[in-house]
Amino acid sequence: LAGRAAQAIYGRVRAAVGETLTPETLNAASDASLRAAGLSANKLASLRDLSAKVLDGTVVLTRTSARSDEELIAQLVTVRGIGRWTAEMYLMFQLRRLDVWPVDDLGVRQGYALAWQLEPAPTPKQLDPLGDRFRPYRSIAARYCWAAVPLLRPGSTQPTLR
């Protein structure tokens, strides 16, 4: 979703469930009210699955988790609609993990190619070992790769950081 559309839907979902968005308040809201807020059937099914898995303990969402990145990713991808890329974005932007290397992200691959003057951009399999030199700060290197795309692509001048 585009940022503005996502923000609008998020605001309407919060209005539908009350001020506090939790698995419990989401479960209490009707499908009709959440669909009216702008959730597609697939997004609603994903949120229902995530809520159920948080409530039954299958997925634990805490900022202070001592679990490894791979353990967290393995938990998150059990949720309908959450794949590895989404789990990695959660680790980077919500948990603020410093050593995530999202090789499936097109922006990271393109930015890496621009910064290191590679043609064509590396595949995810090729990019994976190229991140080793940035350990334990691969998340920061990924952010620089994202910023490199608008900075280094011909005709662009403004970086867009996620």
105 is known as an active-site residue: yes
8, exposed or middle or buried, with CB in 10 Å at 0-12, 13-18, 19+?
middle
Give residue 114's Cα distance to chain centre.
23
Residue 37 Cα distances to 6, 40, 51, 60, 117, angstroms: 11, 9, 17, 26, 45
Which residue among the candidates 31, 99, 105, 132 is catalytic per the annotation?
105
Neighbours of 88 (CB within 10 A): 24
- Please give the positions annotated as active site: 105
